[in-house]
């Protein structure tokens, strides 16, 4: 009989992780039930007593959960890291973002700036303040809980709007009314690392199999192809 394991994961790795899960299910014959959430959502779910076998999140989130006593990490595997990118609606000209000054001017010229309240959004908020443009950008910013809402806003919006999010999910959704303008300039790029942690209380063998699989060259290749390096 196939065994089912539960995974709770940060949404930024979804494009690559879904391919890894498909391959794992095909090769092992077992089943994976996966749900995706932002970092705050993961903390809320686990803090509220949600039970999963494998948790995929930035190491800082895992550390916070361990310190609070909400879960115990039995083993962990690094999946890779993801940068921040810029998107615009189809039909709009691509903003100039090759240099820091280009990026700042594009933000100033935009009618609105749209990004999330997850790890990416937290970094951007801090970045805008450090660049001295927090007030100017903040006055025309719209924040959403997750990237799905950012995508919905930008794809159906109007005027010169700039959206920001994890490069992986922008590229994955380029057929849904938006275009990937490119990554942030190198000098202000921020990479968020993601790790898979085995936290199941009864240490299901299938969960351990998944941990071994996600660390394999085949899984790493699938993740890299989706932008998780």
Q: Where are the alpha helices (DSSP H) in 114-226?
A: 119-130, 134-138, 147-155, 167-172, 205-214, 217-225
CATH topology match: 4-81+192-225 vs 84-188: yes
Residue spans per domain, the chain: 4-81+192-225, 84-188
CATH homologous superfamily of 4-81+192-225:
Periplasmic binding protein-like II (3.40.190.10)
Q: In the Cβ-directed half-sphere of 216, how many Cα atoms lie within 13 Å? A: 15
| Whether the Cβ atoms of residue 8 and residue 42 lie closer than 8 Å to each other | yes
Predicted model pTM: 0.89
10-residue block means of pLDDT along the chain (229 residues)? Answer: 93 96 97 94 94 96 94 94 97 97 98 94 96 97 96 97 97 96 97 94 83 98 94
Task: Identify the pLDDT of residue 223.
Answer: 97
Task: Identify the pLDDT of residue 119.
Answer: 86
Q: Residue 28: name the closest of 36, 20, 40 by CA.
A: 20
Task: Identify the pLDDT of residue 216.
Answer: 98
Task: Identify the pLDDT of residue 184.
Answer: 98
> Cβ contacts of residue 181 below 8 Å, gap of 6+?
85, 86, 87, 88, 94, 95, 97, 162
Domain covering 84-188, topology? D-Maltodextrin-Binding Protein; domain 2 (3.40.190)
Task: Identify the pLDDT of residue 204.
Answer: 84
Give the span between the Cα atoms of 229 and 211, in whole angstroms: 17
Pairing mode of beta strands 84-89, 4-10: unpaired
Give the span between the Cα atoms of 180 and 88, in whole angstroms: 7
């Amino acid at each position: 009989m196939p065994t089912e394991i539960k995974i709770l994961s940060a949404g930024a790795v979804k494009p690559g992780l879904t391919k890894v899960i498909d391959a794992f299910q095909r090769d092992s014959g077992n089943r994976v039930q996966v749900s995706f959430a932002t970092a705050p959502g993961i903390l809320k779910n686990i803090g509220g007593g949600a039970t999963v076998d494998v948790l995929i999140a930035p190491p800082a989130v895992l550390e916070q959960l361990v310190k609070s006593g909400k879960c115990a990490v039995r083993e962990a595997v690094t999946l890779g890291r993801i940068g921040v990118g810029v998107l615009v609606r189809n039909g709009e000209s691509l903003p100039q973002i090759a240099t820091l000054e280009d990026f700042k001017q594009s933000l100033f010229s935009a009618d609105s700036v749209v990004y999330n309240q997850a790890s990416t959004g937290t970094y951007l908020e801090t970045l805008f303040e450090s660049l001295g443009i927090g007030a100017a950008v903040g006055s025309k910013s719209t924040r959403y809980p997750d990237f799905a809402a950012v995508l919905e806003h930008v794809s159906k919006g109007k005027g010169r709007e700039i959206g920001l999010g994890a490069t992986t999910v922008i590229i994955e959704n380029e057929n849904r009314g938006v275009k990937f303008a490119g990554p942030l300039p190198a000098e202000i790029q921020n990479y968020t690392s993601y790790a898979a942690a085995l936290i199941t209380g009864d240490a299901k063998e299938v969960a351990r199999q998944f941990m071994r699989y996600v660390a394999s060259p085949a899984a790493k290749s699938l993740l890299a192809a989706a932008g998780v390096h």
